[in-house]
Amino acid sequence: MRLSDKVVLLTGASRGMGRAIALGCAREGADLALVARNQTLLEQVAGEIRALGRRAAVFPGDVSDPARVKEIVKEVRAEFGRIDILVNNAGVLDNEPIAGHRDEVWNRVMGINLFAPFYFVREVIGEMMERRSGRILIMASTSAKIPIGPNRAAYVASKHGVLGLIREVALEAAPFNITVNGICPGAVLTDMVRDSIRLMARDLGKSEEEMERVWRDRNPQKRLLEPEEVVPQALLLISDEAAGITGQTVNIN
């Protein structure tokens, strides 16, 4: 198994791509530290992981709060002894026109999509450098390369920032045998995308079917991907097989 006895700290682990990646890691032999806001959903994922014969522990909290991030990392180390792999998956969308864009929406999106990965990287990378080993994966988005449409200023800006973070941290971490990479999913059928479809339909006076078609058409295959389709690339990038890949972002669309 590619991740035998590795400890993976995974944010946004309660549903969607995070849940799919968590289960994929467990099937490859990893133990999971699961982070998200919703403890009930986290416990459900943890139960699925334990059913696969691997350890799992939940650490609920706000990933945009640097003090809570510091606590979470400390708690994970106390539970598992170390962190071999960090997967930053937590993310949110906005639906705000730039004219009159609210500060609280901008700050929330930046806090979860960009600041949170920075906070977690900052807390775990020292340990990885000391061990001269580690894997870091951050979820970006194809919107960091091609804008996805109106009313997404905060989201698109945050994902552009993620690309810069990946490249810079990869450069600093490379001498310590640590790789830092990203995945840029296109339109994936998650609860977040379903919520966005509903909001777009409401705001534009369109049907949800029309808005779903807009999302499908953003992908070259003209379909919404399933969260499980992101898992194989994620597992590759956090495995020893990808030791020679760093500072890269891979589109899955």
Strand order in the sheet with 85-88: 56-60, 31-36, 7-11, 85-88, 134-139, 178-185, 249-252
Tokens 């949800």 locate to 208
Q: Which of 115, 119, 120, 155 is catalytic?
A: 155
d(CA 49, CA 144): 32
User: Are the C-beta atoms of residues 234 and 183 closer than 8 Å to each other?
Assistant: yes
Active site residue 155: yes
DSSP assignment of 28-90: TT-EEEEEES-HHHHHHHHHHHHHTT--EEEEE--TT-HHHHHHHHHHHHHHHS---EEEE--
Of the candidates 181, 175, 78, the residue with the CA atom closest to the CA atom of residue 133: 175
Catalytically active residues are: 155
